[in-house]
Amino acid sequence: MKRTILVFTALFGMFTAFAQDDNGSSLSLSLDEAKQYAVSHNRTLQNASLDMRIAEANRWQTISTMLPQLSASYDYNNMLGYEMEMMGMKIAMPPYGTLGLTASVALTGAQIVGMQMQKIAIDMSDISLKKSERDIQSSVTTIYMSILAMESTVDLLDQNLENLKKLHEMTENSVKIGVAEQTTADQLLVQVATMQTSINSTKRSLEMLYNSLILQLGCDVTTKLVLTEKIENLLNVDSAMELLNTQFDLDSNYNYQLLNKNLELSKKQVLAEEVSFLPTVSAFYQYSNKHYFSDEKTMDMTPPNVVGVSVSIPLWKSWQRMSNVKEAKISYNKTQNSFETTKDGLLIQDKQLRYNLTSAYETYQTQLSNLDVTKRVFENMAIKFEHGAASSLEVTNASTNLVSAQSSYINAMLQLINAKVELEDLLNK
């Protein structure tokens, strides 16, 4: 019911966000809308939902083998005038038709255990579906934020390009009046071209990110995406650091839940092999109605009602069942070892991701300060260059340092976002 409400909300949100233009479809999405849209349209997620339905169908197949089975038949027989002789008497064998109804039921230990195993399989499919939803949402978040960061990078590079163009134009004017050398202007022109190349390369990378987001959303490849949020509004450093105070609950982690169910399934497999020693109990009821297509007297020895019960006890199968039980127990022990190893791995991963988040936060703060200082240095150097107190080489170096600082800041921002998303996934927050 909860998932149905979520899907309905997502569809309603997508209806209000979706707009048509003259050249094709356009989709304007906030981050939350993008995640909801992906939950509703991502094909990988749809397959995970279908896997759950398959598991449910398999369980009902197992249950159906434990329910009564009813069959009907009709037979027609004609002896072509044959008469049976018994004790000197001839008994006519006229043509006849027989209507038969048979109800039967059979029960084995394997059926009961199989039904329990199918229930575990459904639980695992449900957990896998939730995990897939979480993974898709995390992937959408990462790509969405990466696009915003890349667009911020393009904006910063455009600002730098404009500054360099102004300096180059000013230098060219100085060359014309004889107060500057042409080599100085040429150096700045090379710097302008290098900056333009960086912008073009960044825009191509940005296009690839948009394509990746379209793939995750499951929308048409010709759709034009419009992201309605800014990275400054989404980057909540305080909420990211609050994750460090959140206790890791193993039971809420989807990977741990799947491991736990897999261990339970392995244990049931041992039981499935053990119950092969139990008897199979079956019962049936048969009704027959024979109708003769003649008035001749004959002998009818077919009872109209028959009830039967059967018990089949397995006695000997050359130690095959014992070997199967032994193999299942060994497999269960291996699963236990893998479970404990992975459990410890999750606990270690929790520590590592907290370290990563702390380091990413410290790097972000450092790069933020570095960007502010480098920006002021470039502005100061540009002013000095205008007044002839700095060389073109110093301006070029200051510009290069500014671009490097901007790139380092954006990377630090993305590292902080990724570290936050990874820890949120582990904590299922």
* Cα Dmax for the chain: 145
Q: What share of the chain is helix, strand, coil (3-state, %, to 5)?
A: 70, 15, 15
Alpha carbons within 13 angstroms on the beta-carbon side of residue 113 total 17
- Higher-pLDDT residue of 111 and 374 is 374
Q: What is the per-residue pLDDT across 20-49, written as a single tens digit (0 to 9) for each?
A: 433 458 889 999 999 999 888 888 878 888
**Mean model confidence pLDDT for the chain:** 83
Instruction: Flag whether pLDDT at 416 surpasses 80.
Output: yes
Q: Any bridge partners for residue 72, and if so which? A: 101
Instruction: Provide CB contacts within 8 A for 88, sequence distance 6+.
Output: none
Q: Is 392 helix (H, G, I), strand (E, B) or coil?
A: helix
Q: What pLDDT is stored for residue 317 in this prediction?
A: 66
**Confidence check: pLDDT of 91 > 60:** yes
Confidence of residue 318 (pLDDT cuts 50, 70, 90): low
Q: What is the pLDDT of residues 295-304, one digit of tens each?
A: 777 777 778 8
Res. 78 pLDDT band, cuts 50 70 90: confident
Could you tell me the domains of the chain?
Answer: 24-67+110-278+320-427 (1.20.1600.10)
- Give the predicted TM-score (pTM) of the model: 0.74
pLDDT of residue 75 exceeding 80, the answer is yes
Distances (CA, A) of 179 to 166, 173, 187: 17, 9, 16
pLDDT recorded at residue 96: 87
Ranges of H-type helices in 83-181? 109-176
Residue of 324 and 416 predicted with greater confidence: 416
